[in-house]
Amino acid sequence: MKSATRQIGLSAPWIDERDEELVLEVMRSGRLSLGPAGPRFESLLADAVGARYSAAVSSGTAGLHLCMRLAGVGPGDEVITSPYSFVASANCALYEGATPVFADIDPRTLNLDPAAVEAAVTERTKAIVAVDIFGYPCELDELRGICDRHGLVLVEDACEALGAAYKGRPIGSHGHLAVFAFYPNKQLTTGEGGAVATGSEEELRQLASLRNQGRADSGGWLEHARFGYNYRLDDLSAALGVGQLEKLDQILAGRTEVAARYTDLLDGVDGVEPPVADDADHVRSWFVYVVTLADGVDREHVIDELERRGVATARYLPSIHLQPYMRERFGFRAGMCPVSESASAHTLALPFHARLPLDDQEYVVESLRAVLA
Ligand SMILES: Cc1ncc(COP(=O)(O)O)c(C=O)c1O
């Protein structure tokens, strides 16, 4: 097979000299952990998302796990979450010995359907992990209403949604626990890393202790008030995060522009649906550009043909309940969440990042048009 001369990758971080300078400064300072870069990053991040507090952690997964501890989730409990997500939003319940319960999604937004969530509540339910999939805000008010009625804790998996807004206010500013993630394909990267936003000083105190091996505000380095973890974010990563936050508006604007161009270019290409558009209550932060292929389109053929032309794609996202370890452990089977399963079979992520050149986008769309014709 002749390989394509053009290669367009799925994602790319935006790293510049300012980021390098900030990381170098930390290296030269000799304080690679527990130095000043961490609190600086946390304070800028809290400002950026309109949160009272933020606690930086070593990954989004670590942040979700700590939220399960804060929610008091334990063995025998159930945690309702979305099957159409990255595995970490369900694994966090497993880490505490709880059972993930998958409620189906809305076919339009691909986020949790509140009616399905309500129907899944039992006397064992302890928390809901609501995901803002692909950066599109979930139905926070309805989900919070369910939590209030049944005495549940709401945890928002906003790992893909830094910069999104719900009902006119940024995701992260709504008071409940919201977790962000900073892997290199995210809007903002720290290499690996994450953060939990909260409006509660008590939750912040617990997060700060749990991520630091259970150490408390008072007491020595070798005194551990509670059972904790090493989920700290190091200062090199935090410094990169500071550089990223300084240009966050630019990064988000670039991503919005690239997404709008895709939507324009795809207009009139048969067999492809663009992602759901924003409305007054939901403003997406663009994490990935995921299209839905029409029934009858052979997705594997599309993926292979695009790859042959040098265009990377990804099957975002498989349904979590059908992952091998979930089937094996809980006996989950196809048919449990038909909307999610159908989305999983039809969706495809195209190359996407803030500085994707127009001619690369045109090439991606022309390749897609040719394959579908
Ligand atoms: C929806 C969602 N939840 C959780 C995570 C986990 O984040 P991390 O990879 O930083 O652990 C991700 C990251 O890809 C994600 O997309």
Cβ–ligand 1 contact at 134 (below 6 Å): no
What confidence tier does 217 reach under pLDDT thresholds 50, 70, 90? confident
Rounded distance from Cα 370 to ligand 1 centre (Å)? 33
Condensed to tens digits (0 to 9), the pLDDT of residues 71-84 reads 999 999 999 999 99
Region for residue 50 given its phi and psi (left: phi exceeds 0; alpha: psi -120 to 50; beta: otherwise): left
Average pLDDT score over residue span 8-17? 98
What confidence tier does 2 reach under pLDDT thresholds 50, 70, 90? low
Longest dimension (CA), the chain: 68
Average pLDDT score over residue span 148-153? 98
Cβ–ligand 1 contact at 194 (below 6 Å): yes
Condensed to tens digits (0 to 9), the pLDDT of residues 277-304 reads 999 999 999 999 999 999 999 999 999 9
Average pLDDT score over residue span 211-231? 94
Cβ–ligand 1 contact at 131 (below 6 Å): yes
Cβ–ligand 1 contact at 46 (below 6 Å): no
pLDDT of residue 4: 76
Cβ–ligand 1 contact at 135 (below 6 Å): no
Condensed to tens digits (0 to 9), the pLDDT of residues 40-64 reads 999 999 999 999 999 999 999 999 9
Name, in order, each residue with C-beta under 8 angstroms of 222's C-beta and a sequence gap of 6 or more: none
Closest-CA residue to 60 (of 243, 183, 173, 241): 183
Cβ–ligand 1 contact at 56 (below 6 Å): no
pLDDT of residue 5: 85
Looking only at the bridges linking them, the beta strands covering 78-81 and 99-102 are parallel
Condensed to tens digits (0 to 9), the pLDDT of residues 123-137 reads 999 999 999 999 999
Distance CA 142, CA 148 (A): 10
What is the average pLDDT value for the chain, to the nearest integer?
97
Cβ–ligand 1 contact at 84 (below 6 Å): no
Nearest CA to ligand 1 atom 14: 86
pLDDT of residue 284: 98
Rounded distance from Cα 187 to ligand 1 centre (Å)? 12
What confidence tier does 1 reach under pLDDT thresholds 50, 70, 90? low
**Residue of 183, 285, 287 to test ligand 1 pocket, by largest number of atoms within 8 Å of CB:** 183
The secondary structure of the chain, three-state, reads: CCCCCCCECCCCCCCCHHHHHHHHHHHHHCCCCCCCHHHHHHHHHHHHHCCCEEEEECCHHHHHHHHHHHCCCCCCCEEEECCCCCCHHHHHHHHCCCEEEECCECCCCCCECHHHHHHHCCCCEEEEEEECHHHCCCCHHHHHHHHHHHCCEEEEECCCCCCCEECCEECCCCCCEEEEECCCCCCCCCCCCEEEEECCHHHHHHHHHHCECCCCCCCCCCCCCCCCCECCCCHHHHHHHHHHHHCHHHHHHHHHHHHHHHHHHHCCCCCEECCCCCCCCEECCCCCEEEEECCCCCHHHHHHHHHHCCECCECCCCCHHHCHHHHHHHCCCCCCCHHHHHHHHHEEEECCCCCCCHHHHHHHHHHHHHHHC
pLDDT of residue 258: 98
Average pLDDT score over residue span 157-176? 98
Condensed to tens digits (0 to 9), the pLDDT of residues 311-370 reads 999 999 999 999 999 999 999 999 999 999 999 999 999 999 999 999 999 999 999 999
What confidence tier does 168 reach under pLDDT thresholds 50, 70, 90? very high
Are 301 and 290 within 8 A, CB to CB?
A: no
User: Measured at the alpha carbon of residue 18, what is the angle toward residues 17 and 22, in degrees to the nearest 5?
Assistant: 115
Model-level pTM?
0.98
Cβ–ligand 1 contact at 89 (below 6 Å): yes
Q: Which residues lie across from 243 on neighbouring strands?
A: none
My answer on whether omega of the bond before 358 falls inside 30° of 0, hence cis, is: no
pLDDT of residue 310: 98
Distance CA 43, CA 31 (A): 19
Closest-CA residue to 49 (of 197, 199, 185): 197
